[in-house]
């Protein structure tokens, strides 16, 4: 936890950074779009692995689906955290 004086200094630094470089602020508060693309691709590949890969494909499909879910969960957390910063 920051002391009130330190919190004021930090808030002024963040405000100055937002004024000086709005593009950096925008990039820092927006999650990468590739996470959604990778998640969709993983979910598309998962049934193919299960159907064509036997028990090894089942393991790969479950892992691909789980990682796709993890990426979307991570994206939601990023969006929630960015909403509290702005």
Taking only the tens place, the pLDDT of each residue in 13-32 is: 888 888 888 787 777 777 77
- Domain locations in the chain? 1-30, 31-86
Residue 56 has what pLDDT?
A: 95
Cβ neighbours for 74, distance < 8 A, ≥ 6 positions apart = 31, 35
Could you give the CA distance from residue 53 to residue 29 in angstroms, rounded to a whole number?
40
Residue of 28, 22, 17, 3 lying closest to 81 (CA atoms): 28
What is the Cα 58 distance to its own chain's centre?
26
Q: Within a 10 A sphere around the Cβ of 68, how many other Cβ atoms?
A: 21
Between 12 and 81, the more confident residue is 12
Ranges 2-16, 18-32, 58-72: which has the least confidence: 18-32
Q: Is the pLDDT of residue 85 over 70?
A: no
């Amino acid at each position: 936890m920051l002391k009130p004086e330190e919190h004021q200094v930090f808030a002024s630094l963040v405000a100055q950074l937002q004024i000086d470089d709005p593009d950096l602020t925008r990039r820092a508060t927006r999650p990468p779009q590739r996470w959604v693309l990778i998640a969709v691709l993983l979910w598309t590949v998962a049934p193919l692995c299960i159907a064509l890969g036997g028990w090894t494909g089942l393991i790969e499909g479950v892992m691909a689906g789980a990682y796709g879910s993890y990426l979307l969960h991570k994206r939601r957390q990023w969006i929630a955290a960015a909403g509290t910063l702005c």
